[in-house]
C-alpha cells in the first residue's frame, strides 16, 4: 500500500524505515495538529498559515480568550483545510494552576463521510 506522508514526529525503525501515514483520516488529523501548532509567519512562503496556539500560553483562560482561539481556528481551517467542517470547539480547563487547557475539536470530513474528534492540550 502506498503512503500519503511521513508521520510526525519522525520515527525510524531499522525494519520499516520512517513511519508513514497510509490513510486520509490520520493525515487530516496531523494537518490539523500542524495548523494549531504553527505560528503565523513560521511557515516558509505561507506567512498567514497557522493558529499559533503557543501564543495563548500565558493568556487568562476566559470566554474572551476562548472566543479569540475559536475564531482563529475556524478561520484558519476554512482557508487551509477547506475539506473539513468544524462543528464545535470546546475548552476544558484541566489544571488551571499550571495553565493547562484542552481543546476538543469536533469536525466532519464530507468527502469521506466521516467525523472525528481531535483533542489538543495547551
Its pTM stands at: 0.88
Q: Give pLDDT tens digits for 69-103.
A: 999 999 999 999 999 999 999 998 877 666 678 89
Which pLDDT score, from 0 to 100, does residue 107 have? 97
Q: Catalogue all structural domains in the chain, each as residue range(s) with its CATH number.
A: 25-121 (3.10.450.40)
- CB burial string 28-45: b at 16+ within 10 A, e below: bbbbbebbbebeeeeeee
- Banded model confidence at residue 60, pLDDT cuts 50, 70, 90: confident
Give the residue with greater pLDDT, 98 vs 122. 122
Amino acid at each position: 500500500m502506498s503512503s500519503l506522508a511521513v508521520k510526525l514526529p519522525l520515527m525510524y525503525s531499522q525494519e520499516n524505515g520512517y513511519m508513514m501515514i497510509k490513510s486520509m483520516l490520520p493525515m487530516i488529523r496531523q494537518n490539523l495538529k500542524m495548523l494549531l501548532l504553527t505560528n503565523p509567519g513560521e511557515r516558509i512562503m505561507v506567512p498567514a498559515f497557522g493558529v499559533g496556539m503557543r501564543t495563548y500560553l500565558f493568556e487568562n483562560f476566559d470566554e474572551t480568550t476562548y472566543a479569540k482561539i475559536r475564531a482563529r481556528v475556524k478561520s484558519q481551517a476554512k482557508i487551509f483545510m477547506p475539506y473539513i467542517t468544524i462543528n464545535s470547539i470546546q475548552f476544558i480547563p484541566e489544571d488551571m494552576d499550571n495553565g493547562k487547557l484542552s481543546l476538543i475539536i469536533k469536525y466532519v470530513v464530507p468527502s469521506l463521510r466521516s467525523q472525528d474528534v481531535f483533542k489538543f492540550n495547551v
